[in-house]
Amino acid sequence: MMHSIIFAGFGGQGVMLMGQVLAQAGMSENKYVTWFPSYGPEMRGGTANCTVVVSEEPVASPVVEMPTEVVAMNIPSLLKFEPKVQKNGCLFINISVVDRKPQRSDIRVYEIPANDIAERIGNLKVANMVMLGSFVQVTKCVSIDSLIEAMKYKLSARSSEIIDLNTKAIFEGAKHVGG
């Protein structure tokens, strides 16, 4: 199974990090992975996205037209990427920020109140890890354990409080979708 995922949101929501943590987790499970950022003329506060491919086979291209999954952290991301999700693919929407419904009926939609959950556990900034927890729980693209280890690796320069908070965020995100 090849997962190709676009993570998209505002600059500052941590979408690049979401992708990097997932790619790191995939690598730790000896899968083939690529991470590719959008690097057009972006501006601070504008939209940002990255594409991650996690596969059992060597990855041809890290650029993906039609992803198997899209994670939309804000409204512009939903508008831009909902039409691109593969049929029967998954769309994850951060409904704390996105106040509209998706148009498609041929994809599975997961509405995650990522900001609300993050605020409830103590810090809005971990909304990205809440979403990533939900994402991995649903897609099983890597294991939750690998995901947490990857997050710890990426945040290894940070304090243990921050790492604990991010761990909790991943678990809460997973729990929200039945994990």
Partner 1 sequence: MKKVMMKGVEAIGEAAIKAGCRNYFGYPITPQSELTEYMARRLPEVGGSFLQAESEVAAVNMLYGASSVGKRVMTSTSSPGFSLMQEGISYIACAQLPAVFVNVVRGGPGLGDIQPSQGDYFQATKGGGHGDYRLIVLSPSTVQEATELTLLAFDLADKYRNPVLIFADGLLGQMMEPVAFEEKEITYDNSHWALTGSKNRPPRQVTSFNIDPYGLEKMNIELQKKYRQVEANETRYEEFLIEDADILIVAHGTVGRIAKSVVRMAREEGLKIGLFRPITLYPYPYDALSKAAQEKSLVLTVEMSSGQMLEDVKLAVCGKTKIEFYGRMAGVVPTPEEIFTHLKTLIRGQ
Among 1, 44, 57, 156, binds partner 1 (CB under 8 A): 57
Q: Are 76 and 23 in contact (CB under 8 A)?
A: no
Residue with smaller CB distance to partner 1, 63 or 145: 63
CA–CA separation, 129 vs 68, rounded Å? 20
Q: Determine the angle formed by the axes of helices 160-176 and 144-154, rounding to 10 degrees.
A: 150
3-state SS, residue 98: coil
Does residue 99 belong to the site contacting partner 1 (CB under 8 A)?
no
Among 12, 46, 61, 120, binds partner 1 (CB under 8 A): 61
- How many residues lie near partner 1 (CB under 8 A)? 20
Residue with smaller CB distance to partner 1, 41 or 45: 41
Other CB atoms within a 10 A radius of the CB of residue 75 amount to 17
Among 6, 15, 18, 23, binds partner 1 (CB under 8 A): 23
Q: Determine the angle formed by the axes of helices 160-176 and 127-139, rounding to 10 degrees.
A: 50
Q: Strands 90-94, 69-72: parallel, antiparallel or unpaired by DSSP?
A: parallel
Residue with smaller CB distance to partner 1, 62 or 102: 62
Q: Report the nearest approach of partner 1 to the CB of residue 12 (Å).
A: 20
Binding residues (CB under 8 A) for partner 1: these are 20, 23-24, 27, 33-37, 39-41, 57-63, 65
